[in-house]
Chains A and B, each alone.
Chain A
Amino acid sequence: MRILDFLLRTRGRGRLHWTDVLSYGYLFLGLVVMFAPVLWLLMSSFKSEAAIGQFPPTFLPYQQKTVSVAGQNKPLPLFTVTQDDGTTRQMAQISRIGIMATMVDPAVPEQTVQVNIQQRQPVNELRFAWNNYSDLFGKFTFSKYLWNSVFITVAATLLTLLFNSMAAFALSKYKFKGQKAVFLLIIATLMIPPTIILVPVFLVINQAGLLNSLWGVILPAVATPTGVFLLRQYMLTIPDELLEAARMDHASEWRIYWRIVLPLSAPALAVLAIFSVMWRWNDFLLPLIVLSRNEFFTLQLALNSFQGELNTQWHYLLAMTVITLLPVTLVFAFLQRYITTGIASAGVK
């Protein structure tokens, strides 16, 4: 009971109620369910090709130890051999025919022994297969995919910020005919899911000659109702007197927009930028129909086509997955608060 009392003690507020215990239990369960799969993926991505096919799998990336033996040009895999008299000895394998392996003691390289493969156990050591990652950049067109993803994300985000802030500026700081209609039209596009107009969007992109071009993915995405709405609501809070004062000084409207209103909307722009980066980085369906040639694949498309292959090379696929989730994870780690408050206030994803 003493221990229980100690564990349930809190600062000031009396003991923990049983519902508190239940709550923390739930939270820790959530921690495991939400993060363990990602952690498992991360650890698996460090396994060598041989280790990844092993069953049952291990959590940590173990790999068979190898030694260089004098007189052999390649490093040899190391085994623990149980000899007939019951003693064990570490030996390296030179070759194997059927159930017999030719083995050699690294200390006495000139003397080889025949050993039944039943009598040996591989010697494993903890080793991270960094080459899963480094190979990606040489072996495949991976750098190309990475570049495509980065280019689409950056270009689309910059254009999104420019176009949406211009529209938001017009909708919050001017009074022109049809303004309400424009705003309503923009908000109405929130209700039209992209999946429904998939076929005609494909036609438009095709007619514009943007099929198999990165711009075919960028351009349809740069006008977002969410962005316009978010920025407009923010710009409404910027006092009109500031604009009037600038007009007195003969500033042009364009200058007012980018010298006064844009810098003042920086917090809202930052939230939209975070969103836009995540949207574009994670986009799948539009790139899937627009970019069908291998050299234009984004990371998401490359992942999809790799996993669909008959002989999935899981060690590379997992490393690629980790690289793909890395930017989003970093953004999340540093900007979590902005993202969550942005979503809670705008109710959008």
Chain B
Amino acid sequence: MKFLSFFFDLLEPFFRLGQRWLGLQRLGWLFVAPNMVVFGLFCFLPIAINFIYAGTGGVQLMPLQRPYTGAENFQILFECSNYLDLSSCRKDVFWRAIFNTLKFSVMQVSLMVLFSLLTALVLNRKIIGRGFWRGVFFYPVLLSPVVVALIWKWLLQNQGVFNAGLAAMNWPTVEWLTDAVWAFFWTVFVSIWSHMGFYTLILLAGLQAIPRDLYEAAEMDRASPWRTLTRITLPLLMPNLVVVLVLAAIRAVQIFDEVFVLTGGGPGSATTFIVQFIYQTGFAEQIHLYGLAAAASLALAGFLVLLTLVQLRLSRASELGQKGR
């Protein structure tokens, strides 16, 4: 505590000086300055540089030393001699990554919303120890992606508990993480396992905000539970559902850490997603193609903007829908 007050006292003359110069209200600038410097350096400046990178080639890191190439990076990414055959594309891994990411997002988001809705509905019932159960589903959210991936890698390895179970029933064992179909399934499953609790929590908060008297009125009218669910709960939960849907989609498109540790993108490129493509082109391969990586991340950014616009559209629609009711 003493150290703390010493530290804060140390900064005091600096702010006194600022107050004399700037006056009382404009002192606010001094208070936001550290935050804005960090944001400026590590967020706004990088956004601008990203465009420079995307428009230049070469392997130099300094933006000004890089030769201008115009749209060539995008051309390299998107050019295919035959658009119906992915392996004819110049960067077929990029196309595969996009394709995988879309497939992953659709499967993961729909299942995630379904399961977190189901869990939230169950948790919203009159159950004993709700806090405990909520914690059970939330716990994996706090684990780091690397830890999550290692937990499952340990279970799924060839000599792991899953194969032991199969062997105990005299069934042939499965190479869970080196078989393309299974590996993809497990990336979906593990990412749902580790993130579901977060969305459950948002939906639960939405469910608890629905006025009790609506349910009492429904009970008076002898509405069936199914009818109560579809006519009261779901429509009133719609705003939260939209938030969950879009947040989950934005996160799913950017999936990287867990999958990178769990499967490394393999087998082949079966579980290579778009962020891993960016990481590999920009940092992991022998020649660091920053321009190509930046172009790919701009493509990703465009897609995310699209998702956000959809969210705005949807949430406005659901608000209007509620007012109309």
Could you list which residues of chain A lie within 8 angstroms of chain B, going by C-beta atoms? 13, 19-20, 23-24, 26-27, 30-31, 33-35, 37-38, 40-41, 44, 53, 55-57, 162-164, 166-167, 169-171, 173-179, 182, 185-186, 189, 191-193, 195-204, 206, 208, 219-220, 222-223, 228, 252-255, 257-258, 278, 281-285, 288-289, 300, 303-304, 307-308, 314, 317-318, 321, 324-325, 328-329, 331-332, 336-337, 339-340, 343-345, 347, 349
Instruction: Across the A-B interface, give the 7 residue pairs with the lowest CB-CB distance, nearest first.
Output: A282-B144, A170-B31, A174-B28, A200-B46, A200-B49, A223-B38, A254-B15
- Please tell me if the beta carbons of B134 and A340 are within 8 angstroms of each other in the complex: yes
B19-78 at interface with A (beta carbon < 8 Å): 19, 24-32, 34-36, 38-39, 41-50, 53, 61-63
- Please tell me if the beta carbons of A325 and B144 are within 8 angstroms of each other in the complex: yes
Q: A349 contacts which chain B residues (CB < 8 A)?
A: 141, 198
Q: B49 contacts which chain A residues (CB < 8 A)?
A: 199-200, 203-204
Give chain B's interface residue range (CB within 8 Å of chain A): 35 or more
Q: Whole-angstrom distance between the alpha carbons of A324 and B145 in the complex?
A: 11
Q: Whole-angstrom distance between the alpha carbons of A37 and B157 in the complex?
A: 13
- Please tell me if the beta carbons of A30 and B46 are within 8 angstroms of each other in the complex: no
Known A171-B32, A223-B43, A331-B142; 7 more pairs at CB < 8 Å: A20-B127, A31-B136, A173-B28, A174-B31, A176-B27, A281-B144, A285-B257
- Please tell me if the beta carbons of B143 and A325 are within 8 angstroms of each other in the complex: yes
How many A-B residue pairs have C-beta atoms within 8 angstroms? Tell me.
281
Q: Whole-angstrom distance between the alpha carbons of A223 and B35 in the complex?
A: 5
- Please tell me if the beta carbons of A222 and B300 are within 8 angstroms of each other in the complex: no
Kindly supply a per-residue 1/0 record for chain B positions 117-154, scoring 1 wherever the CB is within 8 Å of any chain A CB and 0 otherwise: 01100100111000101111111111111110011111
Known: A198-B282, A344-B201. A56 touches B168 (CB 8 A): yes
- Please tell me if the beta carbons of B36 and A57 are within 8 angstroms of each other in the complex: no
B160-210 at interface with A (beta carbon < 8 Å): 160-161, 163-164, 167-168, 193, 198, 201-202, 204-205
Q: Whole-angstrom distance between the alpha carbons of A177 and B26 in the complex?
A: 7
Nearest CB in chain B: distance from A226 CB, A: 12
- Please tell me if the beta carbons of B275 and A321 are within 8 angstroms of each other in the complex: no
- Please tell me if the beta carbons of B151 and A321 are within 8 angstroms of each other in the complex: yes
- Please tell me if the beta carbons of A252 and B12 are within 8 angstroms of each other in the complex: yes
Residue B270 at the chain A interface, CB threshold 8 Å: no
9 contacts between A and B (CB under 8 A): A19-B125, A174-B31, A186-B39, A198-B293, A202-B283, A219-B38, A228-B35, A254-B15, A343-B202
- Among A176, A308, A331, which residue has the most Cβ atoms of chain B within 10 A? A176
Residue of A nearest to B154 (CB): A41
Q: Whole-angstrom distance between the alpha carbons of A339 and B198 in the complex?
A: 11
- Please tell me if the beta carbons of B257 and A284 are within 8 angstroms of each other in the complex: yes
Q: A192 contacts which chain B residues (CB < 8 A)?
A: 43, 47
Q: A189 contacts which chain B residues (CB < 8 A)?
A: 39, 43
Could you list which residues of chain B lie within 8 angstroms of chain A, going by C-beta atoms? 8, 11-12, 14-16, 19, 24-32, 34-36, 38-39, 41-50, 53, 61-63, 118-119, 122, 125-127, 131, 133-147, 150-155, 159-161, 163-164, 167-168, 193, 198, 201-202, 204-205, 225, 243, 250, 254, 256-257, 260-261, 264, 275, 278-279, 282-283, 290, 293-294, 297-298, 300-301, 304, 308
Q: Whole-angstrom distance between the alpha carbons of A251 and B27 in the complex?
A: 15
- Please tell me if the beta carbons of A199 and B193 are within 8 angstroms of each other in the complex: no
- Please tell me if the beta carbons of B152 and A37 are within 8 angstroms of each other in the complex: yes
Nearest CB in chain A: distance from B137 CB, A: 6
Main secondary structure of the interface of A (DSSP, over half): helix
Select which of B41, B161, B254 is within 8 A of A193 by beta carbon. B254
Q: A206 contacts which chain B residues (CB < 8 A)?
A: 61
Q: A38 contacts which chain B residues (CB < 8 A)?
A: 139-140, 143, 151
- Please tell me if the beta carbons of B31 and A167 are within 8 angstroms of each other in the complex: yes
- Among B25, B147, B256, which residue has the most Cβ atoms of chain A within 10 A? B147
- Please tell me if the beta carbons of B154 and A220 are within 8 angstroms of each other in the complex: no
